[in-house]
Every structure is written in structure tokens, then in C-alpha cells.
Copies of this chain bind each other. A is one copy, B any other.
Amino acid sequence: MNKVNINEKFSLFTDLWSPKIAGELNGQHVKLVKVKGEFVWHKHDHEDELFLVIKGVLTIEFRDRTETIHENEFIIVPRGVEHRPVAPDEAWVLLFEPKETLNTGDTTGVFTKEKLDEI
């Protein structure tokens, strides 16, 4: 039950597309992730996913459109909706999602992280 300084936590790691667990509540995780470049297309069959941009710009591509998320903006991607996160420059993102959520959803590949570290 200690407070968490988000920027301080982000200063502790440099690896990309590798979410770290920064909090847990009600079966959900708060995760912090640094992103840059193009992720893979995927969806989560059972989990809605919130992306809150802490620093930089995150683009989320959907099959029919693209959303650009800036600092202090968030978007909720509902379960079942295909999406692909893309960041031209490094961006820092806070995620809220169920503990069971796999980062690459219904796909597996080089980006898949089965086990996440706490930070």
C-alpha cells in the first residue's frame, strides 16, 4: 500500500514492449510499458484494455481507422477488437487490464511476454 511514482518507475527500465507490473487491484493489473516501432496485430477475446499515455505519442491502428493518443489521454479497446499499437518515437504507456491479459492477445510470436516482472 505504498504510493507509486510513475516516472520514477519508468526510469528503472529501458526495454521496449515489455510491460512491468506496477500495481494490482480487483483482479486487474496496472502495467507500465515503453514502446517504439510497430507491434503486432492482435485482439483479446476476454479482456478490455486501457492505454493511458504518460509520455510521447501512441498510435493505435484499428481495421477501420487509427487513433492518436497523446499525453494525458487514454483509450479503452474493448475485448474482441483487433488493434495494433505503433509509436514512431518512444512512448511511455500505462495499461489497466485483467491480470490474465497476454500482451499479444490471440497471437504469439517474438513480442509475446508470458511472464511479467513486477517493478
Chain A residues in the interface with B (C-beta under 8 A)? 1-7, 23-26, 28, 30, 47-50, 54, 62, 67-70, 72-78, 81, 96-98
A81 to chain B: closest CB distance in Å? 7
A24 — which chain B residues lie within 8 A by C-beta? 76
A50 — which chain B residues lie within 8 A by C-beta? 23, 25, 30
A89 to chain B: closest CB distance in Å? 18
Task: Evaluate contact between B25 and A26: CB separation under 8 angstroms.
Answer: no
**Given A1-B77, A4-B74, 6 other A-B residues pairs in contact with their CB atoms under 8 A:** A2-B67, A3-B75, A4-B73, A23-B76, A25-B49, A25-B50
A72 to B62 alpha-carbon distance, docked (Å): 29
